[in-house]
């Protein structure tokens, strides 16, 4: 299986258009600090077809930055076979509207996420005149086979709904993905409200783990003046501190241990921040955009 890292930022990106925090201001001065919204592409081989995990507002720019995802010269075509969603949050779904030029768009998500997109964003209704949109149920109890020999399964991580779907019933609103290829396996978890037993089981034998690195510490949201006081209250376990994931992450046997979905308030936005060395000492890195992993 081949994995391409397309983006690594939490909602808003880095820089966020209306933010002048240290990370966003730094990203305006140094292009190397910039991060697009978190997403990966996966394929059973280096030749595709490819599945994009989450459709961010940056999706078509991410395709243009990644030759693997571009059409061969000639007519209209795409090596993209579908979009797999971990949740229905806007930073992971607005890009679906940007795919309207495709002849068909195939979405894999949990039932709750599809309901949110249908009722809250009117996705199916809006895209119907443009493209052939289809949905496949992503379940926790069975793997869905993908083109190219991959299999994907949902690992429920949180019941947190997007704000636009506040009136929708409870369900599997946010999941991690376990993706298995012929030789390697990946767990992708950009949103972790807690380190559940189910998730731990999937992580125990994964070759690559890409986890929620939204916040460095639990107090970061209040220090930055965000609406909710702590990382944990926002449904994101922080990296450091007593509730932090780093120590447990360091003990996983995974060959590749990467954080993604960095908020612009995260000190890791600065490539020279000492926090990078702290993670490196534990065998953990921050995912870099453009990175390729062969599993
Ligand atoms: C999240 O990751 O918690 C969501 O994307 C939050 C948001 O953008 O509202
Ligand atoms: Mn997010
Ligand atoms: Zn900022």
Report the pLDDT averaged over residues 25-52: 97
Share of the chain above pLDDT 90, in %: 95
For residue 190, the ligand 1 atom closest to its alpha carbon is 2
Measured from the CB, is residue 209 less than 6 Å from ligand 1? no
The residue to which tokens 């990467």 are assigned: 258
Q: Examine the pLDDT at 123 and tell me if it is beyond 80.
A: yes
User: 76 alpha carbon to ligand 1 midpoint, in Å?
Assistant: 33
Determine if ligand 1 sits within 6 Å of the CB of residue 11.
Answer: yes
Instruction: Indicate if the pLDDT at residue 226 is higher than 90.
Output: no
Amino acid 223: pLDDT: 86
User: Within a 10 A sphere around the Cβ of 282, how many other Cβ atoms?
Assistant: 13
In whole angstroms, give the CA distance from residue 105 to residue 59: 14
Buried b (16+ CB within 10 A) or exposed e, 85-102: bbbbbbbbbbbbbbbeeb
Instruction: Report CA dihedral (14, 17, 18, 24) to the nearest 10 degrees.
Output: 30
Residue 279: the pLDDT is 98
> For residue 89, how far is its CA from the centre of ligand 1 (angstroms)?
6
| Ligand in nearest proximity to the CA of 18 | 3
Class of domain 2-294 (CATH, top level): alpha beta
235 Cβ closer than 6 Å to some ligand 1 atom: yes
């Amino acid at each position: 299986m081949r994995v391409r890292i397309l983006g690594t930022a939490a909602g808003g990106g880095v820089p966020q258009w209306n933010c002048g925090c240290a990370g966003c201001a730094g990203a305006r001065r140094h292009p190397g600090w910039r991060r697009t919204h978190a997403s990966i592409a996966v394929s059973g081989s280096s030749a595709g077809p490819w599945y994009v995990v989450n459709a961010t507002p940056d999706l078509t720019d991410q395709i243009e930055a990644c030759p693997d995802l571009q059409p061969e010269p000639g007519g209209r075509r795409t090596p993209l076979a579908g979009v797999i969603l971990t949740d229905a949050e806007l930073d992971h779904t607005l890009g679906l509207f940007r795919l309207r030029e495709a002849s068909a768009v195939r979405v894999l998500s949990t039932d709750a996420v599809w309901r949110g997109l249908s009722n809250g964003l009117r996705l199916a209704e809006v895209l119907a005149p443009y493209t052939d949109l289809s949905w496949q149920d992503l379940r926790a109890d069975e793997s869905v086979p993908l083109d190219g020999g991959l299999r994907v399964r949902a690992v429920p991580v949180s019941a947190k709904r997007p704000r636009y779907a506040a009136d929708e019933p409870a369900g599997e609103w946010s999941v991690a993905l376990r993706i298995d290829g012929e030789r390697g396996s990946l767990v992708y978890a950009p949103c972790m409200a807690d380190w559940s037993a189910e998730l731990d089981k999937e992580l125990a034998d994964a070759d690559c783990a890409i986890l929620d690195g939204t916040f460095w510490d639990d107090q970061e949201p209040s220090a930055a003046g965000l609406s909710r006081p702590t990382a944990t209250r926002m449904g994101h376990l922080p990296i450091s501190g007593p509730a932090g994931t780093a120590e447990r992450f360091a003990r996983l046997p995974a060959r590749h241990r990467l954080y993604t979905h960095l908020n612009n308030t995260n000190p890791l936005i600065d490539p020279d921040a000492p926090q990078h060395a702290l993670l490196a000492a534990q065998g953990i890195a921050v995912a870099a955009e453009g990175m390729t992993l062969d599993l």
